[in-house]
Chains A and B, each alone.
Chain A
Amino acid sequence: AQKITQTQPGMFVQEKEAVTLDCTYDTSDPSYGLFWYKQPSSGEMIFLIYQGSYDQQNATEGRYSLNFQKARKSANLVISASQLGDSAMYFCAMSPRMDSSYKLIFGSGTRLLVRP
């Protein structure tokens, strides 16, 4: 079964500190993509970062990095130097390549609150 698990329903972080949001996945597909999206209280879905299953290096995008551990089937999001505007829901998602729809399979999300 294809599944994404996010075990942290909610997290707090102090402003300017780093935080790691956990994500584990389950798939039998050898080729897949992993994504992180941010959903602020306004409701829109904002793409943050992408990691391909065959990428040798961990993806980085500004203050976001993805700690990809393929053997452990984990794709944790690291946010460095947290800002108040980072307070939001964060969703991990997977897109198996064998599935011709290239749909996104989402986890249940982690709500991050940044404290001033």
Chain B
Amino acid sequence: NAGVTQTPKFRVLKTGQSMTLLCAQDMNHEYMYWYRQDPGMGLRLIHYSVGEGTTAKGEVPDGYNVSRLKKQNFLLGLESAAPSQTSVYFCASSYSGGPYEQYFGPGTRLTVT
């Protein structure tokens, strides 16, 4: 099992460009999450999904969109990147909601210049 994978690992964008981050999990998890981690801070939730075809906003959703067309994939889109979106992005997944740990991907380091 690969667990949770993220593509790409690194990316540099110019202000105004768009991109999509891909998260894939092979554990048949229902719940998937996108977090961002800024220096000196813990992770903050951007968007999440409780199942295929569903998405919902988290704590810091502005400037991002998501889609979950297949159970195993969760995509995070930036339509018009801004320097404030420079961050490390983590995808995570878990079994159906409950006292279960979240399994994290390796992260994507995004720099917007």
Contact = CB atoms under 8 A, between A and B. Distances in A.
Contacts of A50: 99, 101
B58 interface: yes
A43 B101 contact: no
A44 to B, nearest CB: 5
Contacts, number: 60
Contacts of B40: 108
B104 A44 contact: yes
A115 B90 CA distance: 30
Contacts of B104: 37, 44-45
Contact of B43 (A95, A101, A104): A104
Interface residues of A, number: 22
21 contacts: A37-B104, A44-B107, A45-B104, A47-B101, A47-B102, A50-B101, A52-B99, A91-B42, A93-B42, A101-B48, A102-B31, A102-B94, A102-B97, A103-B48, A103-B59, A104-B35, A104-B43, A104-B102, A106-B43, A107-B42, A108-B42
Interface of B: 31, 33, 35, 40-45, 48, 50, 56, 58-59, 88, 90, 92, 94, 97-104, 106-107
A35 B33 CA distance: 16
A101 B99 contact: no
Contacts of A13: none
A37 to B, nearest CB: 8
Contacts of A47: 101-103
A71 to B, nearest CB: 21
A91 B43 contact: yes
A102 B43 contact: no
Interface string A1-37: 0001000000000000000000000000000010101
A100 interface: yes
Q: Looking at B35, B41, B43, B98, which has the most chain A CB atoms within 10 Å of its CB?
A: B43
A106 B58 contact: no
A19 B45 CA distance: 29
